[in-house]
Chains A and B, each alone.
Chain A
Amino acid sequence: MNNKYTFHKFIELKPALEFMNQNSETSRIIAGGTDILIEIRKEDKNLNPINHIIDIHDIPTLRKIKIENNFCILGACCTHSEISTSKIIGEYFPVLKMAVDKIGSPQIRNVATIGGNICNLAACADSIAPLLVYDVNVRLCSTTGDRIVPLEKILLKPYITDVQPDEILAEILLPLPEKNWKYCFYKLGRRSGVSISRLSYAIMLRSENNTIQEVRFAFGALFSVPKRLYTLEKELVHQTISNILWKDVSRKVASKILDETGVRWSTSYKIPVIQQLLYKSLMDLT
């Protein structure tokens, strides 16, 4: 076991990409390591072809949080702690801050990265739903060039993203939102500390005179991967806010989850619970 892997640490992106280009099938990226180290210990069979562990955690360009041309550029290797304490994130993206504050423990937040949370793509990944409501794009780099795609597009299946074997997720591009959004993030875990989401959701809402102008919903741990409900969001534009509307919305969300995931062991719990919690959040928001 000790001899299986060679560890390569890079402090610049370009040589890392070149290495990945040469060894794409046998390499795995490590950033914070909070997922891959566990896979290594468990001798996960997905690691069978892997011989190279590529450490990109300390590449300075991937650790920046800055504002450029109405976008916040968030380096993929920023840790959850760095995101939590960033003034930019706190000011413009409070939903993201609320979410990363609840991930794991302080020790995990100090090393685990947002890029890792995306690329690992657990159904319960806590940082993805808040990114989705901010309509973010991601920058994927490789030696053959960069591509910028909506985050939603790379979330394929649990633990499978569209990040190619020779690509590195470098940045998350968050458009600066207007300030008149109401928002909430809710995470339900079995414990209050060091807990994995049973369900989570992020909501952003703009309204005027009790009429919805725009609403965004993203859910974690309820669908196979975190996702937005665009059709429902569109239907709600110009509707009048009322408890009846929110009850209907909650039921529609629940039906959508049932349609997509079918009846599972957790269904008898999750379906009633998401309706009540979502309803309560929407009522509190408005």
Chain B
Amino acid sequence: MKNDKFNVVGKELPRTDAYEKVTGRAQYAADTSFPDLCITSQKYVSLAHGIIKKIDISEAEKVTGIKAIITAKDIPGKQLSGVIKCDQPVFSFDKIYCPADVIALVVGTEKDSIRKALSLIKIETEELPILTEYTKALQKDVPLIHPENKSNLINHYPLRKGDIEKGFRESDLIIERTFTTPAVEHAYIEPECITAVPDFRRDVYKIFGSVQNPFTCRRLVATVMDVPLTNIHIIQNELGGSFGGKDDTMDILAARACVACKKVGKPVRIRLTREESIVESYKRHPYTMHYKVGVSHKGILKAMKIDISADGGAYASMSPFVTWRSVVQATGPYEVENVCTDVRAVYTNNPYTGAFRGFGSPQIIFAQESLMDEIAEKLNMSPIEFRRLNGYKQNSQTASGQILSSHIVSLNQVMEKAIRESDFNKKYSIYKSEVYPTQIPTKGELILSDEHFTSGSIIKNGIGLACSFRGCSLGAEGVDATSALISVQKDGSVYLISGLAENGQGLRMTFSMVAAEVLGISPNGIYYLEQDTSRIADGGPTVASRSTLVGGEAVKAAADIVRERIEKMLISEWDLGEEATLNFADHTIYHDETGHKITFMEACNKAYMNGVNLNAYGWFKAPDVDWNEEVGQGPAYFTYVYGCQIAEVEVNTGSGKIFVKTITAVHDAGRIINRLGALGQIYGGVSQGAGYGIMEEVIVKNAEIKNVNFDEYLIPTSVDIGEIKAFFVENPDTFGPFGGKSLGEPTLELTAAAINNAVANALGKRFYHLPLDLEQLITGKTLHQIKR
């Protein structure tokens, strides 16, 4: 889409950090070097739940070459971490909660002695019974993970709207289904690495690493070190992927490295192997979702009763926020008069779960979108017709009672576009008519009888869709404000930094494009500064698909201030009168009516000579939102985005293998700023979502992860996903720079649900559990075994 209103915004421009990344010059955390660097290894115990009786490091300390062995005793400040609930020990000292817990950090200079010392650390433990079945975590007589809470409940969110009983009474058809989804791994290409470096100033530390959220990291390290925030500088290296995964884990590693750094007085690095990374990092929440839905014979949704439990694992981490998004969005983008939702996150001894691109939405979308198709089928309606009837329209009311009036509700637009681009209606009916009684024997004998063999084609085609609405940014989770700093030099070159951090998604490019648009320059003229917590105000975390929207507004605000100052200076110099407006484009500033003209560079030099301040802080605070925790009512988010994805699959009915042939992805993310970056978000999100749909699963047995590397934890390769057709529907929002809002997470959340509906279209048979792996398609259940 061409938009002549803009010079930079919406254009397909290569990202400004592409050269360094493609040529391998970009410095990732493990590429950096420091004099006298100490390396480390972490001591785990192979125990899922137990009391620590004694930690004896005396023999280990004697190993030649060992600088220090760090335990909880070395921590100057707080022992526990956790953004919402402080329940995760930085170093375990009294109790083991899960097999990923770390008791000690061995610091040395070469691997052999570190390895030897590790083996000499003696830990006496008393084993406790373990709890792994999260759906049973709230029953009586189960082990309590954090006994001080008197329950394994992390949080419970109720939502009550209308009269649920009345809703079911008015329903002609009631359907109840249970859906489950597995834990999955972020699978970022770069495993965690962090280096803490002492400063010549007392109690000052500089920490370099693959940190997703430098400010969150700084808060934890400062409390653990018991120093003011200003003493901890978190400097972010290039991030080799995060997807929400380099938050808590990285922060704790940073704290451990810093404690060690204080003790040895030298730079200390913790670098995880892939196996350690998979064991120690948090995962996406497994969900068990019970949906009971009532609908009138005309197809109007009358009532939805939803009961969800989420496995939080050993620590609360982001569970309260992740499951909050689920409670807000659990009905999907459909008007339902009577809703009764309960979402609970619970503790177990399993790997802990936290933020992961999607954040509590891929699970519920899988359930609700599968159900919408199933209900439509039972009503003899097309899935489109049913969604058109019930889907959000302008001024619809959400389950939490919010009226969607302040932005364009584009559910129908994205759906229509996706239907058109994928030829959905035609294909859906053709594929449906080709379904014949499935030859897949789901039960019974292993040896097939004659009628079970298929002689014709064993490849079946299917097409299916899923759509969603998604609240932008943090919503009622908490403070939602961020900053940006712009500094224009006298030669017209520009420094830019914001309070949000590049995670590899292309934030620097998008922000540079916003600033470039305002100043009428090219994004290449913008030097994006290294992310350092001492350079810029705390802008909150880089999460919730909020960067373009919230950070972009801050960048625009900063650039606007500079632009106004230049404008004011020139208007006065050219004597144009206060009402005049100038154009900024192509590195030139000009006044149409009078023909006055100056290059951006000359203008900046002029400003410098006149003492005009071309440095500015931009700030954006999101509009207020509100949530009543008792009944789950309120305007949860200040704006929303809408998306629709349609999956076309080939199912081999002999082997159960699904090939995702085409995904048509249509998203309304408001105005698209960085078009190539936005396309990249779709390609990546869809691939990740397809992996979630058909193959990914962290296998946990007795709380221990079994598939700890990519030979056994399978993600899709480039040949596993066919064509991804990406389209944008652009409805600029009131908020966001030039009306651009959120895209990162919506791209992932829909894919698995769309694939599930496509498989049902192909086979005439529905599935309720992810992943849709070979075994589930053939035997009806996943084996929860390592998959090779």
Contacts and interface: CB of A to CB of B under 8 A. Distances in A.
SS of B interface (majority): loop
A279 B453 contact: yes
Nearest to B111: A1
Given A194-B717, A251-B447, A269-B778, A276 B458 contact: yes
Given A269-B775, A276-B448, A192 B659 contact: yes
A190 B446 contact: no
A254 B447 CA distance: 7
B774 interface: yes
A207 interface: no
Interface string B637-675: 000000000000000011111010000000000000000
B684 interface: no
Interface in B435-472: 439-441, 446-448, 450, 452-455, 458
Contact of A275 (B112, B448, B788): B448
Contacts of B440: 272
A106 to B, nearest CB: 11
Given A188-B657, A190-B787, A191-B695, A254 B446 contact: yes
B656 A250 contact: no
Contacts of B783: 265-266, 269
B778 to A, nearest CB: 5
A272 B440 CA distance: 8
Contacts of A194: 717
A272 B779 CA distance: 9
B446 A193 contact: no
B50 interface: no
A266 B455 CA distance: 25
Interface of B: 111-112, 115, 439-441, 446-448, 450, 452-455, 458, 653-657, 659, 695, 711, 714, 716-720, 773-775, 778-779, 783, 785, 787-788
A244 B453 CA distance: 10
Interface string A238-254: 00000110010011001
A195 B447 CA distance: 27
Contact of A277 (B655, B714, B720): B655
B111 A190 contact: no
Contacts of A192: 659, 717, 719-720
Given A269-B783, A273-B655, A275-B453, A196 B448 contact: no
A280 B716 contact: no
Contacts of B441: 272
Contacts of A193: 717-720
B773 A190 contact: yes
Given A188-B774, A250-B448, A268-B446, 19 more contacts: A1-B111, A1-B112, A190-B773, A191-B714, A191-B719, A192-B717, A193-B718, A198-B788, A243-B455, A251-B447, A254-B447, A268-B775, A268-B779, A269-B775, A273-B656, A276-B439, A276-B454, A276-B654, A279-B453
A158 to B, nearest CB: 14
Contacts of B787: 190
Contacts of A195: 714
B774 A275 contact: no
A80 B720 CA distance: 22
A191 B716 contact: yes
Nearest to B446: A271
Interface residues of A, number: 35
A255 interface: yes
Contacts of A266: 783, 785
B112 A190 contact: no
> Closest 6 A-B residue pairs measured CB to CB?
A193-B717, A193-B719, A276-B654, A271-B446, A196-B788, A192-B719
A280 B719 contact: no
B447 A276 contact: no
A267 interface: yes
B770 to A, nearest CB: 15
A163 interface: no
A283 interface: yes
A258 interface: yes
A272 B453 contact: no
A123 B546 CA distance: 49
B448 A190 contact: no
Contacts of B653: 276
Contacts of A250: 448, 453
A258 B446 contact: yes
Contacts of A276: 439, 448, 452-454, 458, 653-655
Contacts of A267: 446
Nearest to A271: B446
Given A190-B695, A250-B453, A273-B778, A280 B458 contact: yes
Contacts of A243: 453, 455
B423 to A, nearest CB: 25
A193 B115 CA distance: 36
Contacts of A255: 447
Interface string A152-179: 0000000000000000000000000000
